[in-house]
């Protein structure tokens, strides 16, 4: 079966021409629908760069290789087109948007995606009902959804709001970038429950994390180790435990 | 007399000569003469004058005759308001006026103190009137319960001048809106507000002009004890547009909210100039100006707070100007000035110019919002704050107008 996300020999650099610095260096990775893959790696390995290159943030130049989602090359698409195709990034540092209430933002996003896919807009009552149900699952205060996006939110609230958006938009492919950072155990559990509720045979997930802790709650099908811009080791869920015990140096030394 | 005046303006431009001729056609009047002389001192304001260095009417205004472009449509609601219309040759007022408002159409000119500070205001005072239009239109407000007064200024080619004076008597309040819709080569309007103690005014100004028009709106207000003035401007500019407001806090406890949003597209120039004098202790000024400018557009902000040593004690004043340069080639000039001599005051100011935040843009686009829509959403949210204090009856319309501009 063709993988949902297929990354082949991907190289990318950040910065202007003469000072461009290669961050991804021949990265290959397949994530089939229905599976959750974790990417672990030391600081500076290129984890966040991978998430930005896949979602089309400016400032990153793809210098080689390809990335396809359901067979379509995503690297040539605008960020909004990739989003409409079902690509969703849960940000490591969610951005504050003063003056734009959460509900307005998410509804605008949802309808923009629907329009791009040639679907009808969601009606206001349907949207409100869906929002209420999702907020309840995530223990989100309804008042919070009327406030401007992420403005004055705690670290935990911001991460929960990312999951809220994910559950509202129902993307096909999820990238979670360090979703566990800044969360206490209770918040981590709520967030993980939200992510687990999204697991589905038709959906793929890439969970980028520093620590094994998150993977106690979101069980991956595969664990990849990213270092120096490429995947240097792939294993089952127990690889994460080994990394936790032996450290990256131990595992990397063995792979080298 | 005309000849002498002609000599008074050094090297007059064709437009200035036409203004002199218009003045010459008016009946003789010593007050009118004083006002016109105040204008003639400099002629049309130009870049060698400090207060006009970024907004040059002399260079912009080749001749008074105009534009093919018709006036813009008035977006502000007329329902529920008392509507007054100024056209180049006419003036229309509601037939029935409620109690608490008295309108006087003064055929002669009222004295215009401070004319030397506002050359285009002086010009408006000197040339207003003629035809069916009053030289000075005076409103005396004695009620706190009037419907909104709405003024519409539109032209059809000719230069157009008007002067309106509001006397707001103790305890009364006024909800006022004005639409400046262009359609004339030169429009200059001067409005004066005298707020007695315990009065309030909420003033909203909508301005949209053509790319070959010059427009000036000059507001001059004196605030009495505990008087509160709130002003909200939404200006889309013109070839040159100057929205100038001068306020004097005259007695203790006066409060001023002075907000404006300017949106300048290619070929449009919008100037927001304000001057606030804290001439009495314990007065408050809150000023917020926001702007967004496209490639080939120009925005100007000049704000001044003057706080004298003795009378300005316990002043509480804050001036903020924030501008978004939405494209390369957009220009914003800003001069925030705080001149403070009193030592026991709280005065703050902030001034920023920049592009939209890349991180915010990416966040919106990653969620599926197309680039143009994302830019409009962020800019609208940025601008909206400056329109927040407008009266309920006009705020949504002002926001919608800003939104339309941003998404077009």
On chain B, the residues whose CB falls within 8 A of the CB of A99 are: 380-382, 384-385
Q: Is B93 part of any domain?
A: yes
Query: Phi/psi at B341 (nearest 5 deg)?
Result: -110, -20
Mean pLDDT over B88-104 rounds to: 91
On chain B, the residues whose CB falls within 8 A of the CB of A59 are: 358
Residue B68 pLDDT level (bands cut at 50, 70, 90) = low
Which domain range does residue A180 map to?
5-95+171-255
Q: CA B227 to CA B172: how far, in whole Å?
A: 10
Mean pLDDT over B396-400 rounds to: 95
State what percent of residues in chain A have pLDDT above 90. Answer: 73
pLDDT for res B162: 92
pLDDT for res B156: 66
In a mutational test of the B interface, the residue from A77, A95, A169 whose CB has the highest number of chain B CBs within 10 Å is: A95
Q: How far is B316 from chain A (nearest CA, A)?
A: 26
pLDDT for res B28: 85
In a mutational test of the A interface, the residue from B366, B381, B388, B406 whose CB has the highest number of chain A CBs within 10 Å is: B366
pLDDT for res A254: 62
Q: How far is B367 from chain A (nearest CA, A)?
A: 6
Tokens in use for A204?
A: 């793929």
Element (H, E) at A96: none
Q: Is B407 part of any domain?
A: no
> Do A175 and A49 meet the contact criterion of CB atoms below 8 Å apart?
no
Mean pLDDT over B153-176 rounds to: 91
CB contact under 8 Å between A91 and B363, yes or no, is yes
Residue B6 pLDDT level (bands cut at 50, 70, 90) = low
Of A56, A84, A100, the CB nearest to B381: A100
Q: Is A211 part of any domain?
A: yes
A-B Cβ pairs (cutoff 8 Å, strict): 77
Q: Is B368 part of any domain?
A: no
- ipTM value greater than 0.85: yes
Of A55, A59, A96, the CB nearest to B366: A55
CB contact under 8 Å between A105 and B360, yes or no, is no
How many independent structural domains does chain B possess?
1
* CA B171 vs CA B99, B254, B279, B407: distances in Å: 15, 13, 21, 43
CB contact under 8 Å between A97 and B381, yes or no, is yes
Please, what's the b/e burial string for B121-147 (b: 16 or more CB within 10 A of its CB; e: otherwise)? bbbbbbbbbbeebbbbbbbbbeeeebe
SS3 A100: strand
pLDDT for res B125: 94
Q: CA B87 to CA B96: how far, in whole Å?
A: 20
Mean pLDDT over B287-306 rounds to: 98
Strand ranges for B311-406 from DSSP E: 316-325, 331-340, 346-354
pLDDT for res B163: 95
The vertex-B174 CA angle with B168 and B175, nearest 5°, equals: 155
> Of B49 and B212, which is predicted with more confidence?
B49
Mean pLDDT over B215-226 rounds to: 98
* DSSP tag of B384: H
Q: Is A142 part of any domain?
A: no
* DSSP tag of A85: T
Residue B3 pLDDT level (bands cut at 50, 70, 90) = low
pLDDT for res A246: 84
In a mutational test of the B interface, the residue from A97, A117, A119 whose CB has the highest number of chain B CBs within 10 Å is: A97
- The answer to whether residue B93 scores a pLDDT higher than 80 is yes
DSSP β-bridge partners for residue A239: none
State what percent of residues in chain B have pLDDT above 70. Answer: 97
Q: Is A222 part of any domain?
A: yes
Tokens in use for B351?
A: 């001034």
> Of B316 and B63, which is predicted with more confidence?
B316
pLDDT for res B69: 66
CB contact under 8 Å between B370 and A112, yes or no, is yes
pLDDT for res A186: 85
DSSP β-bridge partners for residue B354: B324
Residue B406 pLDDT level (bands cut at 50, 70, 90) = confident
> Do A53 and A46 meet the contact criterion of CB atoms below 8 Å apart?
no
The tens-digit pLDDT sequence of chain A (256 residues) is 678 999 999 999 998 777 889 999 999 999 999 999 999 988 888 999 999 999 999 999 999 999 999 999 999 999 999 999 999 999 999 999 999 999 999 999 999 999 999 999 999 999 999 999 999 988 888 899 999 999 999 988 999 999 999 999 999 999 999 988 878 888 888 889 989 999 999 999 999 998 888 899 999 999 999 999 999 999 998 888 888 888 888 777 765 4
The vertex-B280 CA angle with B38 and B287, nearest 5°, equals: 75
Measured torsion, CA atoms of residues B37, B42, B45, B51, in degrees rounded to the nearest 10 = -110
Q: Is B14 part of any domain?
A: yes
CB contact under 8 Å between B369 and A89, yes or no, is no
Which domain range does residue B328 map to?
2-356
CB contact under 8 Å between A95 and B366, yes or no, is no
> Do B107 and B131 meet the contact criterion of CB atoms below 8 Å apart?
no
Q: Is A90 part of any domain?
A: yes
For chain B, the residues whose C-beta falls within 8 A of a C-beta of chain A are 357-360, 362-371, 373-374, 377-378, 380-382, 384-385
Closest CA to A21 of A55, A49, A51, A56: A49
pLDDT for res B87: 81
For chain A, the residues whose C-beta falls within 8 A of a C-beta of chain B are 55-59, 78-80, 82-84, 88-89, 91, 94-100, 105-106, 108-110, 112-113, 116, 148, 165, 169
Q: CA B310 to CA B279: how far, in whole Å?
A: 9
Question: Reading across the β-sheet that carries B186-195, which strands appear in turn?
Answer: B101-106, B136-141, B160-168, B186-195, B214-223, B240-249, B269-278, B298-307, B331-340
Q: Is A205 part of any domain?
A: yes
Q: Is B380 part of any domain?
A: no
- The answer to whether residue B108 scores a pLDDT higher than 90 is no
Q: Is A20 part of any domain?
A: yes
pLDDT for res B374: 95
SS3 B382: helix
Packed helices A124-137 and A185-197: angle between N→C axes, nearest 10 degrees: 130
Q: Is B199 part of any domain?
A: yes
CB contact under 8 Å between B370 and A78, yes or no, is yes
pLDDT for res A191: 87
pLDDT for res A139: 86
How many independent structural domains does chain A possess?
1
CATH number of A26's domain: 3.40.50.300
Q: Is B128 part of any domain?
A: yes
Least confident among A187-191, B315-319, B401-405? A187-191
pLDDT for res A114: 97
Q: CA B325 to CA B338: how far, in whole Å?
A: 25
State the residue for tokens 């472009």: B69
Q: Is A156 part of any domain?
A: no
- The answer to whether residue B26 scores a pLDDT higher than 80 is yes
Q: Is A203 part of any domain?
A: yes
Mean pLDDT over B175-181 rounds to: 97
- The answer to whether residue B396 scores a pLDDT higher than 70 is yes
Q: Is B361 part of any domain?
A: no
* DSSP tag of A102: H
Q: CA B110 to CA B113: how far, in whole Å?
A: 9
């Amino acid at each position: 079966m063709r993988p949902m996300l297929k990354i082949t020999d991907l190289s990318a650099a950040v910065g202007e021409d003469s000072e461009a610095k290669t961050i991804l260096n021949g990265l290959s990775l397949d994530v089939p629908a229905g599976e959750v893959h974790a990417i672990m790696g030391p600081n500076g390995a290129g984890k966040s760069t991978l998430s930005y290159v896949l979602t089309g943030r400016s400032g990153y130049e793809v210098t080689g290789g390809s990335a396809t989602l359901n067979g379509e090359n995503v690297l040539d698409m605008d960020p909004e087109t990739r989003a409409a195709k079902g690509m969703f990034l849960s940000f490591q540092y969610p951005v504050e948007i003063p003056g734009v209430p959460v509900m307005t933002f998410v509804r605008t996003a949802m309808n923009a995606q629907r329009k791009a896919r040639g679907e009808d807009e969601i009606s206001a009552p349907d949207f409100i009902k869906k929002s209420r149900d999702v907020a309840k699952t995530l223990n989100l205060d309804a008042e919070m959804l009327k406030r401007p996006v992420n403005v004055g939110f705690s670290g935990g609230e911001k991460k929960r709001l990312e999951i809220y958006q994910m559950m509202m938009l129902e993307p096909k492919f999820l990238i979670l970038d360090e979703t566990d950072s800044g969360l206490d155990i209770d918040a981590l559990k709520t967030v993980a429950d939200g992510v687990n509720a999204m697991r589905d045979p038709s959906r793929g997930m890439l969970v980028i994390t520093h620590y094994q802790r998150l993977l106690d709650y979101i069980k991956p099908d595969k664990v990849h180790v990213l270092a120096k811009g490429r995947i240097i080791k792939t294993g089952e869920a127990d690889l994460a435990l080994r990394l936790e015990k032996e450290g990256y140096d131990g595992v990397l030394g063995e792979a080298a | 007399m005309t000849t002498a005046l002609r000599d008074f303006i050094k090297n007059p431009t064709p437009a200035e000569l036409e203004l002199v001729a218009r003045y010459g056609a008016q009946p003789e009047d010593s007050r009118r003469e004083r006002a016109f002389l105040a204008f003639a001192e400099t002629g049309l304001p130009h870049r060698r004058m400090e207060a006009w260095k970024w907004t040059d009417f002399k260079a912009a205004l080749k001749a008074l005759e105009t534009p093919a472009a018709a006036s813009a449509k008035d977006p502000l609601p007329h329902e529920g308001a008392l509507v007054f219309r100024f056209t180049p040759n006419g003036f229309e007022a509601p037939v029935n006026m409620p109690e608490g408002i008295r309108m006087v159409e003064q055929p002669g000119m009222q004295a215009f103190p401070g004319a030397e500070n506002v050359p285009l205001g002086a010009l408006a005072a000197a040339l207003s009137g003629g035809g069916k239009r009053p030289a000075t239109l005076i409103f005396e407000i004695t009620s706190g319960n009037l419907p909104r007064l709405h003024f519409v200024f539109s032209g059809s080619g000719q230069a157009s001048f008007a002067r309106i004076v509001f006397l707001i008597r103790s305890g009364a309040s006024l909800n006022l809106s004005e639409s400046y819709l262009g359609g004339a080569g030169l429009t200059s309007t001067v409005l004066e507000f005298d707020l007695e103690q315990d009065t309030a005014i909420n003033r909203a100004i909508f301005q949209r002009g053509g790319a070959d028009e010059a427009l000036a709106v000059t507001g001059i207000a004196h605030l009495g004890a505990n008087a509160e003035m709130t002003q909200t401007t939404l200006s889309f500019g013109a070839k040159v547009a100057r929205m100038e407001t001068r306020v004097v806090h005259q007695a203790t406890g006066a409060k001023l909210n002075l907000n404006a949003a300017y949106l300048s597209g290619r070929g449009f120039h919008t100037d927001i100039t304000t001057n606030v004098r804290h001439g009495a202790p314990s007065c408050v000024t809150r000023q917020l100006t926001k702007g967004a400018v496209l490639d080939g557009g120009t925005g100007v902000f000049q704000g001044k707070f003057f706080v004298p040593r003795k009378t300005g004690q316990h002043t509480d004043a804050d001036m903020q100007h924030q501008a978004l340069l939405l494209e390369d080639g957009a220009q914003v000039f800003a001069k925030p000035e705080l001149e403070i001599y009193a030592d026991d005051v709280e005065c703050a100011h902030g001034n920023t110019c920049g592009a939209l935040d890349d991180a915010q843009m990416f966040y919106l686009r990653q969620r599926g919002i197309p680039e143009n829509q994302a830019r409009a959403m962020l800019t609208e949210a940025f601008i909206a704050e400056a329109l927040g204090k407008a009266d309920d009856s006009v705020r949504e319309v002002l926001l919608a107008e800003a939104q339309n501009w941003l998404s077009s």
